[in-house]
Amino acid sequence: MRLNPVDLIVKKRDGGCLTAEEIGFFILGAADDSWPDYQVAAMLMAMFLRGLDTGETAALTLAMAASGDQLDLSGLPGRKVDKHSTGGVADTTTLVLVPLVAACGVPTVKISGRGLGFTGGTIDKLESIPGFRVALGINEALDQVRRDGLVIMAQTDRLTPADRKLYALRDVTGTVESIPLIAASIMSKKIAAGADAIVLDVKCGNGAFMRDLPLARQLARTMVDIGRQVGRKVTAVISDMNQPLGQFIGNTLEVMEAIKVLRGELEGDLLDVCLTLGSEMLLAVDAVRDEGQALQMLRQALESGSALEKFSRLLSSQGGDARIIDQPWRLPQPASRAQWCAPCDGYLTELDTAGLGHLFVALGGGRKTKLDPIDYTAGFILHARLGDYISKGMPLVDIQASDAAKISQVIPALHNLIKLDDKQPTAKPTILDIIRG
């Protein structure tokens, strides 16, 4: 029987369960425009209101993954592992994690995106490095992994085109906040990227899309279940985003912070999350027998300098200036700097992380549309973490950018984003939960 868009929309609207064939028909229609936008939007609203069960979500994920190119990593040695973050502020994990895991002997292919909205993008950070190329062909990328053990590249236009179409419509039809649709969007790209195992960093807090732990757990479990349904090993690490993960917010600034971490000069939440994600990545491909061995191997890669050497090879192989490792002044430098100091004594009790992300965009470091130019030098350096005691007049935030007027505009807003109080807040862990398949 010939499938009909209206019949499928009505079926889902009335609470029916769509078959894999019906979902495939919908995704094909969205990708080749045989379903007009109004019918695609109607189906998305029906899915949003009625929900999708585990089988439907898995079928949607596979259909979106199959809507374009899929990477074949079978020619690379061993089992391959991929990592994805749901997005956060000062989330520099990819720049640390990829060379760290590669230094442990696990080939790592990472396809990353640019920043949009208040969360930063790995590709923007890498493009702040003079000469670095993110647009690689598939064969070139695979050759680099065979030679060096790692690659970080931009997503190609042919990877999950149906997902891009659906997301654009969800964004303007009030259907973004659907956990099955979010999970399918994330997992379709990871499956198309070809890895055998996937480790997810699900952010939770005031600087994340998932503001509370129950919702973060629901999203994490949904993605782990999708992995089980489609034969991929998936682990989800839920990490706190009630404050920026690192101390540096900005494209060149986060490159500098990643180098400091790889040098062994900087510890803290960023390194803790990288070690947890790295451990799960090594466990996922059976490179180690347990978490203790994984942590020992990762620490050894840091202490021996092999992780930093992998980062240097990544830069050189993709045209970047590897001299920035020892000479950070070769990165783009800001024309203007300022400092914001504590207005009173007290404990640092609250950071509006999303607010800081939006200020970063206002400073010129992010973009409101995909075509906006960005200032690679713009950003903040934070001098305190939640729970620290601050004395009046102590430097709290360094601000830098190419435009002094933008710095003057964002400084007053910091008063509303950073709160001090007499009472010390209860310390909270950075890793909130780990959900394994």
Q: Single out the catalytic residue among 12, 80, 83, 84.
A: 84
Angle at CA 330, nearest 5°, toward 324 and 335?
135
Q: In this structure, what token pair is assigned to residue 400?
A: 């830098």
179-233 per-position pLDDT tens digit:
999 999 999 989 998 888 999 999 999 988 888 999 999 999 999 999 998 889 9
Residue 115 predicted with pLDDT over 80: no
Tokens of 326: 């020892």
As a whole number, the mean pLDDT across the chain is 93
Residue of 185, 306, 312, 317 marked catalytic: 185
Question: Taking 90 as the threshold, does the pLDDT of residue 315 lie above it?
Answer: yes
Which is catalytic among the residues 125, 170, 260, 406? Answer: 170
What is the percent of the chain with per-residue pLDDT over 90, rounded to a whole number?
80
pLDDT digits (tens, 9 = 90+) for 65-112: 999 988 889 888 888 889 999 888 889 999 999 999 999 999 998 988
Q: What is the pLDDT of residues 252-266, one digit of tens each?
A: 999 999 999 999 999
Which domains, ranges and CATH numbers included, belong to the chain? 5-51 (1.20.970.10), 81-326 (3.40.1030.10), 334-421 (3.90.1170.30)
Catalytic-role residue among 189, 203, 233, 313: 189
Contacts of 177 (CB under 8 A, 6+ apart): none
Structure tokens at 65: 């993954």
Contact 158, 149 (CB under 8 A): no
Strands (E), 63-187: 81-85, 108-112, 150-154
Tell me whether residue 84 is one of the annotated catalytic residues. yes
Q: Which of 82, 91, 148, 163 is catalytic?
A: 163
What's the number of CA atoms in the CB half-sphere (13 Å) around residue 223?
Answer: 36
Q: How far is CA 182 from the centre of its chain?
A: 14
* pLDDT score of 1: 66
The mean pLDDT value for 281-288 works out to: 95
The string of pLDDT tens digits covering residues 291-305 is 999 999 999 999 999
Place of tokens 């003079």: 130
> What is the mean pLDDT of the segment spanning 353-371?
87
158: tokens are 């042919």
Cβ neighbours of residue 170 closer than 8 Å, sequence gap 6 or more: 44, 176, 178, 181
> For residue range 116-125, what is the model confidence (pLDDT) as tens digits?
667 778 999 9
pLDDT on residue 370: 65
Catalytic residue flag (residue 163): yes
